[in-house]
Structure 1
């Protein structure tokens, strides 16, 4: 089977059938598929989330997809952070575009990471690698990852589970938009407090 044929296999029906076949393992298939996407970014996270929402229901499907996605992304981040000085990753970190993105992430912290992780078609593997190579703190990264993926995966689950309601009940779409804003604002406030705490700790060490 060539790569094109392999990719063409990934349809909503095939993924849902795969989940049904391994339903005896409980939520494990629903968690492992999004987790695997963090290591193999050519896999369709969008379809995995839709399949989970349809196979397990909106809330359980969202929960399994969210757990799998943040676990996989965090593992990639930790691996890059731990082995970032190895030859391949050092070469990558010296690439001008990667350096620009790293500096941007380091300067702005939570904000850009949150926004990038909110969108389903951003290259999440690159974001995780760049975050791992940068000097952003683990706490900041986890905050952006947890909330950003929550927004993105819930939106896909919500849309895929009940597409008709977006047209017939526009109030639901407005509620989702408000929730996204509240989560972004809350994350930003938490980041500000974290930065102040780190500055106080650093000043205390200097003194």
Structure 2
């Protein structure tokens, strides 16, 4: 019930009002909202990141969203990594479909996390959990999350910073789509390289 009420509140208009109310708190509201995403997966990432960019400006909005997302991902990763031997996680990891995903994740952990981190919509909590269960090195996880989230947050912040401009000139969204496509192509090339290297 609480989650449902929270999600219904998370509209662009309500978030803008909330940000105005707590503007005196500096970057904390923007960081906190994106931090929550790792613990409440249904929260609308694109809306929150876009509102941050509109409230703080493109670069500060990007920075605060990026910090919040990384902090949330690292927190959930470290928590799960610390309790991965709990029977609940052991039973979850024994499921055939999960085993298949975990096997691939063990082999290609960095590219697995990096690619999925680029997506504005995605199973972030599952990505963090899977990376923790396969004991992905902390530093590698941090760099994969930091790189993937930077690409995603920059693209969404760029649109959210001046949404009216893209409503008036929607064709300019092609630049954003091109940036994401290029980033995705590069990440797929990196994935192919890492996969080939790990099998040799």
Tell me which structure has the larger Cα radius of gyration: 1
Could you tell me which of 174, 183, 187 is aligned with 1:180?
183
1:95 is displaced (CA, Å) by 2.0
Of the structure 1 ranges 83-92 and 69-78, higher mean CA displacement relative to structure 2 is found in 83-92
Tell me the matched-pair count.
Answer: 192
Change (3 A) 1:19 1:79: same
TM-score (norm 1): 0.80
Contact 1:35 1:70 in 2 (8 A): yes
Contact 2:155/2:176 (8 A) holds in 1: no
- Show structure 2 runs of 5+ residues with no match: none
Task: Return the alpha-carbon distance in structure 1 between the equivalents of residues 176 and 6 of structure 2.
Answer: 35
Alignment match, 2:114 = 114
Residues 53, 60 of structure 1: 8 Å contact kept: yes
Aligned to 2:86: 86
The root-mean-square deviation of aligned C-alpha atoms, in Å, is 2.7
Question: CA offsets, 1:179-202, max 9 Å, x none?
Answer: 73697499x59x97xx99xxxxxx
Counterpart-to-counterpart distance in 2, 1:181 and 1:6? 32
Output one character per residue of 1:48-78: Cα deviation in whole Å (capped at 9) or x when no partner: 1011011111111111000000000011000
Deviations along 1:147-186, whole A, 9 cap, x unmatched? 0011111111112223435745578437734873697499
Indicate the residue corresponding to 2:48 in structure 1.
Answer: 48
Q: Which has the higher contact order (CA 8 A, sep 6+)?
A: 2
Q: Deviations over 1:84-140 (max 9, x none)?
A: 111222222222222221111111122222111101111101110111101322222
**Distance of aligned partners of 1:103 and 1:33 in 2 relative to their CA distance in 1, 3 Å threshold:** same
C-alpha contact (below 8 Å) 1:58/1:161 kept by paired residues? yes
Q: Report if the CA contact (8 A) 1:147-1:183 is conserved.
A: no
Is 1:137 paired with 2:140? no
Q: C-alpha distance in 1, partners of 2:121/2:184?
A: 20
TM-score, length basis structure 2: 0.83
